[in-house]
């Protein structure tokens, strides 16, 4: 599912217009990104938690040349699925 398909599905589920739904989705993703940039986390009980993780600097190889390269340390976004989402994906029944 791409962004347009997600907006269509959300609009159908909520009864909002596609423009309103797109605005809400942009607000959600912007709020999550802003919180993660501050090294915070966003926890949606039952759905999951968005947070950041620090990745250490490491050595790697250029796949085209085989040459050794240095990969710098980075802070990366991470998502951990909540129990309700895991159950929904696995088809568990309540």
My answer on whether 22 and 32 are in the same domain is yes
My answer on whether 51 and 25 are in the same domain is no
Rounded CA gap, 78 and 94, in Å? 28
My answer on whether 66 and 48 are in the same domain is yes
My answer on whether 29 and 65 are in the same domain is no
**Strand spans (E) along the chain:** 42-44, 48-55, 58-61, 68-71, 74-81
Domain count along the chain: 2
| pLDDT tens profile 13-58 | 999 999 999 999 999 999 999 999 999 999 999 999 999 999 999 9
My answer on whether 50 and 23 are in the same domain is no
Rounded CA gap, 47 and 43, in Å? 8
- Structural domain for 13, as ranges: 1-38
My answer on whether 45 and 32 are in the same domain is no
| pLDDT tens profile 31-43 | 999 999 999 999 9
pTM score: 0.80
Residues 6+ apart with CB under 8 A from 26: none
My answer on whether 29 and 49 are in the same domain is no
My answer on whether 66 and 94 are in the same domain is yes
């Amino acid at each position: 599912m791409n962004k347009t398909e997600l907006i269509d599905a959300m609009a159908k589920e909520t009864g909002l217009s596609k423009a309103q739904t797109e605005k809400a989705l942009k607000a959600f993703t912007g709020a999550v990104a802003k919180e993660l940039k501050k090294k915070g986390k966003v926890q949606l009980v039952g759905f999951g938690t968005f947070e950041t993780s620090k990745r250490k600097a490491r050595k790697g190889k250029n796949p085209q040349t085989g040459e050794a390269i240095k990969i710098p340390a980075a802070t990366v976004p991470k998502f951990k699925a909540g129990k309700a989402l895991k159950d929904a994906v696995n088809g568990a029944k309540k």
